[in-house]
Every structure is written in structure tokens, then in C-alpha cells.
Copies of this chain bind each other. A is one copy, B any other.
Amino acid sequence: MSENNIKTLLNSHNLKATWQRVEIFKVLQNSNECLSADQIYQKLSSNNINIDLATVYRVLDLFAEKGIAQKSIINRKCFFELKKIDHCHYFVCIKCHQKSNIVDCKINLIEEELSKKNFKVLSHNLEVYGICNKCYGGDKR
């Protein structure tokens, strides 16, 4: 997405298109994994783009609120990525800390159960921890 398109997107969500927001959006756009506020801050810094960490936090929360980004919480820490058509969750290896997508979290089944009680689901978070195939050694290499 080009810089102008990003600005248009931000405006369409009633957000002012500051250069800080554009830069943070670009980082998310160029990443193929979810990132913590600090990771984003580091990536920007290493490109000599200095945005206060507090601003990074504020922008990310805003993105999540507006539905531009998806927020995941892993080990009591927040991670962000651009929202795709389908949201996803992560399987995290407790040895190598690599994350792997969980495509279908079955939340619709849980929503069904809750709707019987007239509970309206707005958001959810799922973390699954375990050992990946590489660390398990189950690949018999």
C-alpha cells in the first residue's frame, strides 16, 4: 500500500495522517509476523526513525480499536499485526519461542454456547503453548 493510500485509509477512520502513524503502519505492512510495541520501536530506530515508545503504544492501540490491526496477547505481552480477512492466533513453542499460526480457533462454536446465555462476544484471545516439531525431535532427522 502506497504512502498516499495509507493516509487515505487513516483519514477514512477519522484519524489524522501523521507521519508517525504512516511509519508504524509501514512497519506492520512489511512484517510477516506479529510484532510487539518494542519490536516496532526498534525497527524504526534502526532506520533512524525516532518515534517515542509511548506514541507507538498509543498508535497501536488506536489501530486495534479501529480494526486496522489485530492485537494478540502472548505471555502477558501485546503483539500487533495488520488485520487480515480471518483473524488468527498463535501456537508458541516454549523452547524456541517461534510462533505458528492457528487458523481456526473455533470461536464461533464458543460464541454459540455463550449466545444461549445471551452473552454477546466482542473480542477474544487465545494462546497455545507447547513444543514445535523441530524442538521435539519427533522429525527423526
Contacts and interface: CB of A to CB of B under 8 A. Distances in A.
Interface of A: 73, 76, 78, 91, 93-94, 100, 102-107, 109-110, 113-114, 117-133, 136, 138-139
B114 A104 contact: no
Question: How many copies of this kind of chain does the complex include?
Answer: 2
A100 B121 CA distance: 12
Given A73-B76, A103-B113, A130 B136 contact: no
8 contacts: A91-B119, A91-B121, A100-B117, A104-B109, A110-B128, A117-B133, A122-B130, A123-B130
Q: Which 4 A/B pairs are nearest by Cβ-Cβ distance? A: A118-B133, A106-B106, A121-B130, A124-B128
Contacts of A104: 109-110, 113
